[in-house]
Chain A
Amino acid sequence: MTPFAGAEAGGLSLRQISKRFGAVEVVNSLSLHVRRGMIYGLLGPNGAGKTTTLRMIMGILLPDHGTVLRDGEPAGPMDRRRMGYLPEARGLYARMGVAEQLAFFAALRGITSSDVRPAVARWLDLLGLRGLSDRRSDELSHGMQQLLQLAIALIHDPDVVILDEPFTGLDPVHVARVIELISSLKDQGVAVLLTTHAMEQAEAVCDHVGFLDHGTLRAEGTPDDLRSRYGMVALRVVYRDAVPLDLSLPDDMRTEVQGRGLTVEWSSGRPPHDVIARLDAAGQMTEFELRRPGLREVFLRVVQ
């Protein structure tokens, strides 16, 4: 299936976009599709081209080649005005009040004058900022500022949302709040594309993941799909006596013996019950622990 096959279903599509800064190809013929109701995590190391990709989506940078599509059509300025965007470079008007700031960006995003006030009130309540509505933004804590920026990105009820590192610098309480907020967007049928270094959060919130490295999409799919394709399952067993010498394991499995303990790793494509049965037949096991691969491990395997 091509990345654009779902474009008719709505959402955001990138069609072979590329960007070069001088001699460096920052993004190289990148294609992906984020359908409505999907939370797509674009993961990659520093300098992978994630932020440049998001800036091209938002029209802040122009791609050298390729097209950004919204609902199957090339995205113009008006389409982008309707998208929600949390940039990596956080910034607010320092001396502007919270409510005033929300109202300004709401109007800038095209909310009608009569709808601005209710929208501001709704988001102040939603984020628990009602008591701080007149507070200058430079008087807010870092976490509160980030929540305010998220509200600015979402105040106009966009159907496509772009979030660049939404969890950076947040404490666990605020992280949980942001995850809750992003998850609620999925329920509303919003197409969400986010970048992050935080694999745990990506695992918690994303239902589709792409690994970007040196501007190229190395792999993408659901987290389970990526685990099965690139992850290593690890099984640790402890025998009552010594580890049996003849385990009859396939050659592609890695083993490591530590006293009476044995760790076996294999590609996650093979079902674990077959391996457990072989190890059990070789000797009497007293305990075993099965560890499924995390996105971090998958990510490292893909980019390395």
Chain B
Amino acid sequence: MSRAPWAVVARREYVSRLRSASFLIGTLVGPLVLIVASSAPAWLGNSPGAVAPAVGVIDCSGVLDGGASHVAVDVARELRMVHIPPELGRDVMSGLVADRALDAVVMISPDGARAELIAGSAVDPEALARLRGRLEPMLYEALVHHRATLLPLDEEMVRELTAPPAWTLTTLECVDPARAASFALVMGMILYATLLTYGLATMRAVVEEKAGGVVELLLSSARPVDLLAGKILGIASIGVTQYLMWAAVAAVIIVSRGSLDQLAVPLMGQPAGIGLAAACIAYFVLGYALFASLYAVAGGMVSSLADAQHVHLPVTALLIAPVFLVWFVVTAPESTAARIVSQIPVFAPMLMVARLAMNAASVGEVALSVVVLSATGLASFHLAARVYRAGILMRGKPATPKEVMRWIRE
């Protein structure tokens, strides 16, 4: 049984690209670049050369003797503890903080009943809160011990009287907004990079066939609409193959996350799962169908790759726009504005995937965007097929918008 022309063309596009060195390089290097780019800030912050904030400790009570070292170890990643002689006094210490010689100072009164934390504005407030949370129980225990020695009470009795209630700590998985935003950005950028790569590949394929003269042979064997459909499907299949390979690698990384935690966190730090991967592929396919059609229009308007560089800019601008919008969307993924812009077909692939990565898009929103994006992609394909057919034998200067409009109407 003979195969349909679009299937033959799709197969050729798929096989020839699968065997190309650029596919292998793109598949291997693409995620590495993204992982490195997204990990770099965290890595730089945690690198040995990075200086943690310095916290001076003046312990007039001596209650921290033997305890402060544990605190220092516990918070060592975030703060450097510096023991300071009590003689220096509060004013001197405040001056050191104001001059940024120290980032913060903890002062404990001689009876251990009062503690003061003086911090510079540059220190992370959360880190200081954690430090306070660690110091408070230690000070409390030291104070109980100190007061027991002053009263005719057995220390055990004091301990029973002041015993705190037993607490049970249960930790629940929840979305870390910063990490979710980072993950959403990475997913959005992957969509952008692949749509741009494969969209441009479609345009190049159209132009190269025109410039190389093989297109007339193709047109004698199949209808233009079949040729264009086969080309778009074949290149989309290569993109899906690349996604599946990346998903497989990501799955392996997640499984072995214990040893590869640092690598896995930036990309798969969220409980993303198969649903997000499927959505990512679906939005790639729909977004690719839309942009490949638009790039095919650009390719149909010119007869050389040099001319194509100028003609494709409006299409690429539509693809770049959501790169700027995605920064806004990840900061307020459930805002009305984010909901609206993520429904615009040319923005939907990147922005909706970013919102999905943050668990901020409802099923209804996703369904609506899929319908709108599919309809727009279909309309763009029909438009592209008309331009492709009319412009495919054109030689010389690029077609003007007026000519393209005439081709579409004819």
Contact = CB atoms under 8 A, between A and B. Distances in A.
Contact of B2 (A60, A105, A107): A107
Contacts of B219: 58-60
B215 A91 contact: yes
B223 A105 contact: no
Interface in A92-108: 92-96, 104-105, 107-108
Nearest to B218: A108
Contacts of B215: 91
B216 A107 contact: no
B5 A87 contact: no
Contacts of B2: 107, 110-113
Contacts of B221: 81, 85, 105, 108-109
A74 B5 CA distance: 21
Interface in B1-60: 1-3, 5, 8-9, 12, 16
A90 B213 CA distance: 6
A246 B396 CA distance: 63
Size class of the contact patch on chain B? 20 to 34
Contacts of A112: 1-2
Interface residues of A, number: 31
Contacts of A149: 217
A60 B220 contact: yes
Contacts of B212: 91-94
A109 B219 CA distance: 11
A15 interface: no
A61 B9 CA distance: 21
Given A89-B213, A105-B221, A113 B1 contact: yes
A56 to B, nearest CB: 12
A105 B1 contact: no
B214 interface: yes
B96 to A, nearest CB: 70
Contacts of A59: 219-220, 223
A104 B12 contact: yes
* Chain A interface SS verdict (over half): loop
Contacts of A88: 216
B223 A58 contact: no
A80 interface: yes
**Which of A58, A59, A60, A61: most chain B Cβ within 10 A?**
A60
A59 B5 CA distance: 15
Contacts of B8: 104, 107-108
Interface in B177-223: 209, 212-223
B217 A91 contact: yes
A96 B217 contact: no
A83 interface: yes
B9 A108 contact: yes
Nearest to B392: A60
B3 A92 contact: no
Interface in B205-264: 209, 212-223
A93 B141 CA distance: 82
B216 to A, nearest CB: 4
B156 to A, nearest CB: 87
Contacts of A131: none
Given A81-B222, A93-B212, A105 B5 contact: no
A263 to B, nearest CB: 47
A107 B9 CA distance: 9
A111 to B, nearest CB: 6
B216 A83 contact: no
A265 B12 CA distance: 60
A152 interface: yes
Contacts of A93: 16, 212, 214
B332 to A, nearest CB: 48
A105 B3 CA distance: 12
Nearest to A149: B217
Nearest to B20: A95
Central interface residue in B2, B12, B393, by most chain A CB within 10 Å: B2
Given A80-B220, A81-B5, 7 more contacts: A60-B220, A60-B393, A91-B216, A91-B217, A92-B217, A93-B214, A104-B8
Interface of A: 55, 58-61, 77, 80-81, 83, 85, 87-96, 104-105, 107-113, 149, 152
15 contacts: A58-B220, A60-B216, A60-B220, A60-B393, A77-B222, A81-B222, A85-B221, A89-B216, A91-B209, A91-B213, A92-B212, A93-B214, A94-B212, A96-B16, A108-B8
